[in-house]
Structures are given as structure tokens and as C-alpha cells.
Structure 1
Amino acid sequence: MKFDMPIIKTDENNIQVQFGAGDILIGSGMMGDYEQGLVTLVQQESKPIGTYVKHENPFVEMEAIPVSLIFQNVESLDVLIERLQKTRKYMTGELDIKSEIE
């Protein structure tokens, strides 16, 4: 599946984010009174994957962020990290997803 835009809202109101072309800026930070962790996904001009972009203003209006992942505790962040690591193992063939669902 190929998208013209890396971040789209479907007709069913789902947000889909297509990674792999260097056109999504993945930001990290804190929210509120520095009590919540934050990961943001914003469309950008295509750059080499992993390019670090320093923001001149680290305080961004949340309305300008199409996708935000907000973590109220480290445990919830750990679960996301674990699922991403597992997905990586599926993609590299280290784990077989078919054998896990049978």
C-alpha cells in the first residue's frame, strides 16, 4: 500500500502513518508541567531517514501536530517500545508472525 501523503485520515476517521520515505518528522519531548512524555509525528520535506532536525522553538502548539503519542507513565512507553521491537523482528524474519497466531 502506497500513500501520496505520509499521514492520512481515512474515511473511517482512522489515522494512518506510512513510514519509510524520510518524510515524517518524529519528535520527542514533554508535556504540561513536564509530567507526560510526548512523541509527535509531523509531515516534512523528505530527508534521509534518521536525520536530526533541531527546532528553534521547542514549545509547539498541539493543534499543529497531526499525530501525538502522550505517555502518562514510563510503563506505557515501555509497552510501545516492546511492540516496536517485536514488529522489527517480524520484518527482519527473526520472528514468524504466522506461527504466533496458529
Structure 2
Amino acid sequence: MPIIKNDDGTVSVEFGTGDIKIGSGMMFDEERGLVTFIEQEPKPIGYYEKQAEKQVDLAVYPVHLVFKNTDSLDVLIERLIKTRKYMTGELDVWND
């Protein structure tokens, strides 16, 4: 199961098998950016499927990231890039 609600109240989202659909868009107020995650039948990683509806019911998506400004989005992108460098060995997580 790729999206796991842990006993301590945290949520883990495990990527890498194509069974998480990642969506992107804007909140209804059109001022905040949105990234959503929901489980799906496995598909090739990176598979793109255009959302049929312009608005979605967020209650259907168990995990959403909401960004009030692009600075907060930039920080997440930077951390993802750094994590990629750890995974590829470009950076050493213990000596960074």
C-alpha cells in the first residue's frame, strides 16, 4: 500500500512502483498551488493522464500539499533535488 496512515498519526507515501497518482493545480480560491496524491492501479512511472474535471473533490485525495507562495514550493523542489543527489551518490547524506 503506497499511502500509509501510521499508528502515530503520521502519513507515509512510498513512491517507486507507479501506484500513486500525482495531480497538480490550484486551490478553488486560485491563489494557492496544490499537489495531490491518491492510490491507483499501477501504471508506468511518469504516466500522464489529463484530469477530466477542472475542479476535484479534495476529500477523495488522502494527501494534498498546498502552497501559499512560490517560495515554499521552491524549498520543496530544492529538498527533492537534494534527496535525488543523495540517492544517486552525488552527495553523501552523512557528510553534507
TM-score, reference length from structure 2: 0.97
Superposition pairs for residues 1-102 of structure 1, below 5 Å?
5-100=1-96
What amino acid does structure 1 have at the position aligned with 2:8? Answer: E
Could you tell me how far 1:33 is from its partner in structure 2?
Answer: 2.1
Could you tell me how far 1:87 is from its partner in structure 2?
Answer: 0.1
**Where does the alignment leave 5 or more consecutive residues of structure 1 unmatched?**
none
Q: Using the aligned pairs only, state the percent identity.
A: 60
Could you tell me how far 1:62 is from its partner in structure 2?
Answer: 1.1
**Where does the alignment leave 5 or more consecutive residues of structure 2 unmatched?**
none
Consecutive aligned runs of 4 or more in structure 1 exceeding 3 Å deviation: none
Other structure's SS at 1:55 match: coil
TM-score, reference length from structure 1: 0.91
Total equivalences in the alignment: 96
- How large is the Cα RMSD of the aligned pairs? 0.7
